[in-house]
Structure 1
Amino acid sequence: MTTAELLLHPVRLRVVKAFLGGRDLTTLQLRELLPDVATATLYRQVATLVEAGILEIVDERRVRGAAERTYRLRTDTTVVGPEAVAQMSVEQHRAAFAAFVAGLLADFDNYLERGDINPASDLVGYRQVALHLTDEELVELITELRELIARRMALSPEGRTRRLLTTILMPAE
């Protein structure tokens, strides 16, 4: 199974996203984060991600006779490289993007279902802008954004709110 096939399965994508930000999680914690996913499905998808090297076991302890494992995302294995992207068909791209957008919708629904929300004070935003850039200017912008985001990703989670930043970039008519 290719990395794209592994990561763009709807449940596996949600599992991977739960680990973003350097989180270590047990399956019990994943079940709490993804309560709509059947337990057997969650265990099966976690096992698939471990077998593929996407998740690694970082701790194991006995709890009431069973092994409780703590997992961590191996971020070096979660990138679909340019050669794999180039080999994807139009239908595979369409399915991948649909899974990606479905994950976004699930994240936003989870936020809305929290109850007492205030998008302004929670700093929730979604917007779209049009930029007129040459390919070289776009590469420069992407490089600058990567550097800026990497500095923030390196911050300790202590005393900070976990936030999801999602980008979609495409040419427009």
Structure 2
Amino acid sequence: MATLDLLLHPVRLRILRALLDGRPSTTTQLRRRLPDIAPATMYRHVAVLAEAGVLEVLAEKPVGGMVERTYRLRWDRGAIDAADRAAMTPDDHRRAFTAFTGSLLADFDQYLAGESADPTADGVTYQQVALWLTNEELAELLAELRTAVTARAGRDPGPDRTRRLVSLVVIPSDEVIDPPLAT
């Protein structure tokens, strides 16, 4: 199990997000995906994640007098489980959400900086909807979303496929709403 401090570092979080699709990568490939992270910083944080067991070394090969490693994210080690989430303080949750949104902003900025960025053609969307749900209805919705995403995970890249990041945030709203008017 990974700790909050391990996972919530902004650079490490971005590295983990780069590996979310399950495809193994070398540090060189990660540097191409995250060009704004300095090489020494990238190598240091990949080493920290590997030492903690969050990244698994799949292969090693000599390259120019060095050893190039291929890494894969270990899902069972790269997430905060339900028991640890339940033990988090409000400040821990604030830190986690800040790291998440900061990483999301960095990914979006990197996308927009690309020469071919076309949010409309690329299907970029960000929206919010308010739903009135019981805890059971929320659990059902999350299970449906998990099923829909899982059914599409693991697809190989192809000429017609674009890697897309799908993010989900669910927050209860304490907004007071007048009851509906009787008709």
Counterpart Cα distance in 2 of 1:34 and 1:116: 17
Deviation sequence 1:146-167 (CA, Å, 0-9, x none) = 1111101143334421110000
Tell which structure's C-alpha radius of gyration is larger: 2
Query: Which position in structure 2 is the counterpart of 1:88?
Result: 88
Q: Indicate conservation of the 8 Å contact 1:3/1:78, yes or no.
A: no
Query: Does 2:72 match 1:78?
Result: no
Distance 1:151 1:28, change over 3 A: same
Shift of 1:54: 0.7
Decide which moves more: 31-40 or 60-69: 31-40
Query: Does 2:109 match 1:109?
Result: yes
* Pairing of 1:1-173 with structure 2 (within 5 A): 2-159=2-159, 160-172=161-173, 173=175
Counterpart Cα distance in 2 of 1:27 and 1:2: 21
Shift of 1:5: 2.0
Query: Which position in structure 1 is the counterpart of 2:181?
Result: none
Q: What amino acid is the match of 2:91?
A: E
Counterpart Cα distance in 2 of 1:74 and 1:8: 16
Counterpart Cα distance in 2 of 1:126 and 1:98: 18
Shift of 1:143: 0.9
More helix by share: 1
Counterpart Cα distance in 2 of 1:19 and 1:69: 14
Deviation sequence 1:98-134 (CA, Å, 0-9, x none) = 1100000001001100023221110111000000111
TM-score, normalised via structure 2 length? 0.89
Counterpart Cα distance in 2 of 1:13 and 1:130: 28
Q: Indicate conservation of the 8 Å contact 2:22/2:154, yes or no.
A: no
Q: Indicate conservation of the 8 Å contact 2:7/2:13, yes or no.
A: yes
Distance 1:74 1:158, change over 3 A: farther
Percent of aligned positions that are identical: 52
Runs of 4+ off more than 6 Å: none
Equivalenced residue count is: 173
Q: What amino acid is the match of 1:163?
A: R
Counterpart Cα distance in 1 of 2:117 and 2:63: 36
Q: What amino acid is the match of 1:5?
A: D
Decide which moves more: 2-11 or 69-78: 2-11
Q: Indicate conservation of the 8 Å contact 2:27/2:69, yes or no.
A: yes
